[in-house]
Structure 1
């Protein structure tokens, strides 16, 4: 395989791994496909190459009520400037005849011969649209309930029960909580009657890590602040925590005082977990499963920004000794195995809130928060033992070693960049003195 062909193969593999629908087609009436990624075809249920155009008369993919009109579409761009992106939503026909909605972020490209291409990213937003429509329907039910409340409390209750999703109605005057039947079916008897916020604090229904944020958000909402991230985990009657989006509305009396708060729960568990899975994939290095360089630096700077006065943290920069020789003489497969072994050992040796990342081919970073100098020395010895314990399956006689440089916050730097530079200098001092050891930056500047 030629180098160019290999590069094209790697590019296609990366595009397909990302899971996004990539599309490039001619700007003609048929929207003839020039290139489309595997996820694009999978989105529509076709095999690769099975469709050649979006708007063909024989096998149209574009829905009949959305036929492509080139002059109208060209008006989406600024006059004479085709460099900007255009965001549009389209309804497409799958192979099985069902429709899906997709969001298209397109750019118009003009080739040297004057031909025009439309290229961009296609995302399936069918579930998002359904969720949005569902939220709108439920909000309409709530608005209708508010209009009817003054006329008839009984009619109000009937309307509330029409909602398929769980609803909680809290009376600020009496501190009574009304639970809709779907709420009771999903969550049981609900919270205590000592007040809504107090009930939330002492109830196991709310996931422990979400509890304080939910209380703070609801308190802020009662005082006029907008809910920023209203997604929380609640335990159902089976003891399983699921993600819900909480929507609230406030009813005030004729004096403007708080009268009621209606809280509406939308099950978004599948959507939320998929979003978290994609975010996790974007933040991780593919080979090692550790944080990638961008995520590592961001998380370290975030941890430093959140530090309280008097905090002390340590950044360990780890380099596998003679890694180039491993690849050159023993093969890249063994090199990948060593990377995988080192990564697995690092993950197993540190706490969940420690930051462990792979920032280059054979370089790793470990950031430990709130650590003493004595523990820094112990962790350095632990890291060296990690390397000594590695014996690749393909070559059990091969000994892996590592050189480690350490910098300390705030003594050696107050952000990731400064700490990395000091740890890098310490690590190269180890390399210069025979490798397979550890050095703290203070030791080379005394």
Structure 2
């Protein structure tokens, strides 16, 4: 009780608004803290009345639409302009707590941050995103803190923790959960892992799940203490950063390192034992374009060609720009060689175009070298070397054509 009282004092004095909303037939406020009262100036009763007609609280209709999107699990946060009791406006960020352990009530716990104030309580924000739980192995009872500041209470009195989590974990992460739980039981040590957990049947979010064994005097595990921390935003931001780092900024294709890594990963896994085609494409005499017409015009040519290449390939094929005027494409599961040859010839034709700049005309052509997986190589390094040899032959025969690797290196003509 002392812990609960201490936590409630922290929540009530935080520079963040907290509000628990019942999502029944009519929206109803279950709990608010002093921080929200201070931000908006309304009492709890006044806010409950306002929630029956939310247009009185939101300045802009589009903000009200965003808030309803948050209530319907379409958004995890939204920025809004709210109307304070004195008639002035306040810019706020509303964040929801989207995960709950088996509560029958449809409750949503939200943070309301004053965006106009630089003072936010980061510690409270971090605690808000954590769900603490405890599992008694003997009684098969799961206890959890469902709301910030509340003591841990029983939420499931006939529960198998292993199966409970396995049912909530994303199918792709279930083996990670199995390994994590088995390690906890066998080694009796603290374990943790990043897992996607179901907030509802159609929506998963990333959590850092931690488990610690609680032992009796004989060293037997009698209960398991755990914590689930919402890291979804961190994961999404990290993935966006990684994706951006893998891309060539001019064309949007994968860069050289990412191209090699992704092709090797695919060939060693999902693409193993299937037939694929690697194309090594080079724009003929592109250096002359840059030297005579300028690099800005050269970039426009690259962008134009890249857009045409994008339209020719499936989203599952891997396309990369590995040099100034060099492109690599892995066409997955190409089937017959004739299909590959027809595709390559079609690609070659997109380069056959006359560009005009400052009363100067220049005809663009391209040469292509082709290597087939697995007969011409089983890794990116082997395939690119052989495709490069084929490209050399295509260039030596007069450019503006393609050649297929035949196993004789650069002497295969």
Pairwise TM-score range, normalised by the shorter structure: 0.5 to 0.7
Computed over aligned residues only, the root mean square deviation of the Cα atoms, in angstroms, reads 4.4
* TM-score, structure 1 as length reference: 0.51
- Contact 1:412-1:418 within 8 A present in 2 as well: yes
Deviation, 1:209, is: 4.2
Deviation, 1:257, is: 4.8
Deviation, 1:225, is: 9.4
Structure 1's 253 and 297: CA in aligned 2 closer, same or farther, altered over 3 A?
A: same
Q: Which residue of 2 aligns with 1:357?
A: 320
Which residues of 2 match residues 145-294 of structure 1 at below 5 A?
165-173=130-138, 175-182=140-147, 195-203=160-168, 206-207=169-170, 209-224=172-187, 230-236=193-199, 241-253=204-216, 256-294=219-257
- Provide the rounded CA distance (Å) in 2 between the counterparts of 1:346 and 1:270: 33
Partner of 1:406: helix, strand, or coil? strand
Structure 1's 433 and 164: CA in aligned 2 closer, same or farther, altered over 3 A?
A: closer
Deviation, 1:300, is: 2.7
Structure 1's 424 and 309: CA in aligned 2 closer, same or farther, altered over 3 A?
A: closer
Structure 1's 315 and 177: CA in aligned 2 closer, same or farther, altered over 3 A?
A: farther
Aligned residues: 283
Deviation, 1:404, is: 1.5
Q: Which residue of 2 aligns with 1:415?
A: 379
Q: Which residue of 1 aligns with 2:56?
A: none
Q: Which residue of 2 aligns with 1:3?
A: none
Deviation, 1:370, is: 4.6
- Provide the rounded CA distance (Å) in 2 between the counterparts of 1:227 and 1:404: 55
- Contact 1:217-1:227 within 8 A present in 2 as well: no
Query: 1:379-433 CA distances to partner (integer Å, 9 max, x unpaired)?
Result: 4245336546x887979x8764422211123322233222211100111222223
Structure 1's 367 and 242: CA in aligned 2 closer, same or farther, altered over 3 A?
A: same
- Contact 2:189-2:212 within 8 A present in 1 as well: no
Query: 1:100-130 CA distances to partner (integer Å, 9 max, x unpaired)?
Result: xxxxxxxxxxxxxxxxxxxxxxxxxxxxxx7
Which residues of 2 match residues 373-388 of structure 1 at below 5 A?
373-374=336-337, 375-381=339-345, 383-384=347-348, 387=351
User: Which structure: greater strand fraction?
Assistant: 2
Partner of 1:442: helix, strand, or coil? coil
Structure 1's 182 and 349: CA in aligned 2 closer, same or farther, altered over 3 A?
A: farther
Partner of 2:214: helix, strand, or coil? strand
- Contact 2:143-2:156 within 8 A present in 1 as well: no
Q: Which residue of 2 aligns with 1:37?
A: none
- Provide the rounded CA distance (Å) in 2 between the counterparts of 1:393 and 1:176: 76
Deviation, 1:190, is: 9.7
Q: Which has the higher contact order (CA 8 A, sep 6+)?
A: 2
- Which of 329, 332, 338 does residue 366 from structure 1 map onto? 329
- Provide the rounded CA distance (Å) in 2 between the counterparts of 1:192 and 1:286: 55
- Contact 1:231-1:245 within 8 A present in 2 as well: yes
Query: What are the ranges of 5 or more consecutive residues in structure 1 without an aligned counterpart?
Result: 1-129, 139-162
- Contact 2:373-2:383 within 8 A present in 1 as well: yes
Structure 1's 178 and 294: CA in aligned 2 closer, same or farther, altered over 3 A?
A: same
